[in-house]
């Protein structure tokens, strides 16, 4: 199990700013090393607003931690990240990207296979490289694209705890965007630093469960954060 620390702020913006400043510091400190930055979508993208151009460079590779299988720029996580100033700064700095916007001929499975191959090749070429992930959590306790299977631990294990680093699946009625491709718990074990941004009183019970490491992953997928070597949680939840 990795180290997990919690940092509380009085409001959402302050929590996002503290998370962003920590990410900026982490990237700057490791600028001379190969770094793979895996980004969560949704509110966790706000962390990127606090990352400066000087922390970025040609040793950085950026991808998403999970994806919604859609070419709609209002839905696809990578497309939403591209709207951030961070994306242009990273491009200008010579950073590389593993894009997750589906090609016209893609199925969920072909995109998942290409994405996983990119991650595995990066790891093989950079065995001592550093993997950083930004993390978020939904009110149901999901993280990345891993949703709860409260009545089916075997299905959760089959999807997210097997050999695959990336998996494509249909989350059905678990989310308004059910066609998901996500990094798995198996991949989480390779992440060196996780920076989680969690905001909203409705998430309090689930966040408490994560911090106390109580429950089962199929009921509270964000417990997978404990598989990461070092995690800092930034929140306005008291």
Of residues 150, 137, 147, 145, the one with CA closest to residue 231: 137
Q: State percent of the chain over pLDDT 70.
A: 100
pLDDT one-digit tens code per residue, 33-66: 999 999 999 999 999 999 999 999 999 999 999 9
CA atoms within 13 A on the CB side of 51: 29
Question: Quick one: pLDDT at residue 102?
Answer: 96
Question: Quick one: pLDDT at residue 86?
Answer: 98
Question: Quick one: pLDDT at residue 89?
Answer: 98
Position 228 pLDDT exceeds 90? yes
Of residues 183, 187, 198, the one with CA closest to residue 238: 198
Q: Which two tokens stand for residue 229?
A: 């070597």
In this structure, whether the domain defined by 3-235 belongs to CATH 3.40.50.1360 is answered with yes
pLDDT one-digit tens code per residue, 156-212: 999 999 999 999 999 998 898 999 999 999 999 999 999 999 999 999 999 999 999
Q: Which two tokens stand for residue 122?
A: 């990066």
Helix (H) or strand (E) holding 112, with range, is helix 108-125
* DSSP classification of residue 175: S
Question: Quick one: pLDDT at residue 203?
Answer: 97
Q: How far apart are CA 27 and CA 20, in angstroms?
A: 11
Position 2 pLDDT exceeds 90? no
Average pLDDT over residues 139-157: 96
pLDDT band at 69 (very low <50, low <70, confident <90, very high): very high
CB within 8 Å of 50: residues ≥ 6 apart: 16, 17, 19, 20, 21, 23, 24
pLDDT one-digit tens code per residue, 71-118: 999 999 999 999 999 999 999 999 999 999 999 999 999 999 999 999
Averaged pLDDT score across all residues of the chain: 97
pLDDT band at 27 (very low <50, low <70, confident <90, very high): very high
């Amino acid at each position: 199990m990795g180290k997990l620390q919690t940092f509380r702020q009085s409001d959402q913006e302050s929590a996002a700013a503290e998370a962003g400043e920590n990410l900026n510091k982490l990237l700057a400190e490791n600028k001379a090393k190969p770094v793979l930055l895996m980004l969560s979508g949704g509110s966790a993208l706000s962390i990127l607003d606090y990352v400066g151009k000087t922390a970025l460079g040609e040793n950085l590779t950026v991808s998403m931690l999970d994806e919604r299988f859609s070419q709609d720029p209002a839905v696809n996580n990578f497309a939403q990240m591209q709207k951030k100033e961070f994306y242009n700064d990273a491009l200008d700095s010579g950073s590389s990207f593993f894009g997750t916007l589906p090609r016209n001929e893609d199925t969920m499975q072909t995109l998942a296979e290409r994405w996983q191959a990119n991650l595995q090749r990066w790891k093989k070429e950079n065995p001592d490289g550093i993997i950083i992930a930004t993390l978020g959590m939904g009110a149901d306790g999901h993280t990345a694209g891993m949703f709860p299977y409260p009545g089916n631990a075997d299905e959760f294990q089959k999807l997210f705890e097997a050999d695959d680093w990336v998996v494509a699946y249909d989350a059905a009625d678990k989310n308004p965007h059910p066609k998901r491709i996500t990094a798995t718990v198996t991949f989480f074990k390779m992440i060196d630093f996780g920076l989680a941004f969690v905001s909203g009183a409705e998430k309090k019970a689930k966040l408490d469960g994560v911090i106390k490491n109580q429950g089962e992953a199929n009921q509270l997928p964000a417990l997978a954060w404990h598989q990461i070597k070092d995690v800092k949680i930034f929140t306005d939840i008291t």
